[in-house]
Structure 1
Amino acid sequence: MTDDAVVLVNAAAEDDVAAEHVVDIFPLSGYYFGSSLNPLFLKDHSLSRFRANYEARGLRTCVQAVILVELFKHPHILLLQVKNSSFKLPGGRLGIGEQDIEGLRRKLSRKLSLDDGDNEAEWEVRECLGMWWKPDFETLFYPYLPPNIKSPKECAKLFLVKLPVSHKFIVPKNMKLLAVPLCQLHGNDKARYDFLYSFIAPTI
């Protein structure tokens, strides 16, 4: 094989890798948003419950979905608004022994679909955008696991989820699904958004 051929092969391989990381986003107008008749039970997120769950189950792993749409020629991200206050990425805590992608699909079907678990296979979960760790119960997340921490308390993972051209979203009656400009998350209004969300724009 000549040097020119090697260059062409390497260039083709690089193009294939780049194509794998390209995610098409589609206009918000192609999606239907509705509300179910039933609310979603909201779990207790108190520190005492966190400690009790850790004693019973060990490390808590949470998976969240980064879902992008296009509005006004700018990328927006879909966030769930809970009780007209806080904004959260769709997702949640994994069950004991549950795999990341399996668990994220279950959570998406529960929070964004008409019937619980009716279309888990439809969610196209792509690459993991990042992992963050909580060394203890009361600190913020770290973008790495400190080497002196042997028993972290929580791990949070963000996954890119690719949407088709059209889709129907049905959310619990006590939640709203909103499209928020990606640049707004990058500015990170800490009073409204989790500080982890400021890392989304640089990673994609």
Structure 2
Amino acid sequence: MSQSIISLHPLSAYTFTVKEQQPEEDASVAARLQRLQNNYEDFGMRRTTEAVLVVHEHGHPHVLMIQIANAFFKLPGDYLRPGEAETSGLAARLETILAPSPAEPNSYGPRGPAGEAGDWEIGDCLAEWWRPSFETFMYPYVPPHITKPKECKKLFLVQVPPTKTLAVPKNMKLLAVPLFELYDNSQRYGPQLAAIPHLLSRYNFVYL
């Protein structure tokens, strides 16, 4: 089977600006898990989508990640509203988090979409991660004894047009992390982010 060809633009092709901060909805991991449990009782399993935004620098793929409090790394994205489509929902979340004009809040959560989805090019679904219980651990499969997982997180490959301006909230950093830094480095980045080089190995990148 032939590899898919993906064109990557250099990091220098993008314009980066700063916008007003976007406070985290939960003050701690425990608070986030508690909200997950509360929402599960009302809406069922949480569906989360996150974007693997890939650029290149010095001829090597880099993944754009958000860093919070100079320590915590995450991919851009967030949970979906009940019944919301995955790709359009992810595009709307990216618009809220990284577009110069953030979307307005909605009734389901302060980061929900209320405006246009922008020109984000949502590509392949790279992975699914499952949370079997109201705990921090997630797995790239549903454990055999679990019949009602509490969250499903999907990672999508997203290409960003070089004309896109990315606006980073004041309380966050947007970092370009090279694949060689992520590879086999779950101690620093966690198993989900450290697995990204494996997920991208199916593609043949062309550096523009």
The answer, yes or no, to whether TM exceeds 0.5 is yes
Structure (1 or 2) with the greater helix fraction: 1
Q: Please name the residue that 2:149 is paired with.
A: 152
- After superposition, the C-alpha distances for 1:58-104 in whole angstroms (9 at most, x for unaligned) are 11111110011111211110001112221110001111111110110
Task: Tell me the secondary structure at the aligned position of residue 66 of structure 1.
Answer: strand
CA displacement at 1:119 relative to structure 2: 5.1
Counterpart of 1:24 in structure 2: which amino acid? S
Give the ranges of 4+ consecutive aligned residues of structure 1 lying more than 6 Å apart after TM superposition: none
* Structure 2 match to 1:106: 92
Supply the distance in 1 between the matched residues of 2:190 and 2:46 (Cα, whole angstroms): 17
Pairing partner for 2:140 from 139, 143, 159: 143
Native 8 Å contact 1:88 1:194 kept in 2: no
Aligned mates of 1:139, 1:85 — CA distance in 2? 17
Of the three residues 18, 29, 39, the one matched with 2:12 is 29
Q: Which residue of structure 2 lines up, in the alignment, with residue 61 of structure 1?
A: 47
1:196 and 1:189, CA in 2 relative to 1: closer, same or farther beyond 3 A?
A: closer
2:196 is the alignment partner of 1:200? yes
Change (3 A) 1:202 1:106: same
Deviation at 1:167, TM superposition (A): 2.2
1:172 alignment counterpart: 169
Deviations along 1:132-157, whole A, 9 cap, x unmatched?
A: 11111125212111333211011111
Q: For the pair shown, which has the larger CA radius of gyration, 1 or 2?
A: 1
How many pairs does the alignment contain? 185
Deviates more, 1:166-175 or 1:122-131: 166-175
Structure in which a larger fraction of residues adopt strand: 2
Q: Distance in 1 between matches of 2:116 and 2:98?
A: 10
TM-score by length of 2: 0.82
Structure 2 residue corresponding to 1:42, chosen from 15, 20, 24:
24
Distance across 1 between alignment mates of 2:135 and 2:118: 36
> Is the contact made by 2:48 and 2:78 (CA closer than 8 Å) also made in structure 1?
yes
Amino acid at match of 1:53: N
Aligned residue in 2 for 1:8: none
Question: Structure 1 pair 107/30, CA: closer, same or farther in 2 (3 Å)?
Answer: same
Give identity over the alignment, percent. 41
- Secondary structure of the corresponding residue to residue 23 of structure 1: strand
**Structure 1: tracts of 5 or more residues without a match:** 1-13
Per-residue deviation, 1:164: 2.0
Q: Which amino acid aligns with 2:96?
A: R
Measured on the aligned residues, the alpha-carbon RMSD in Å equals 1.7
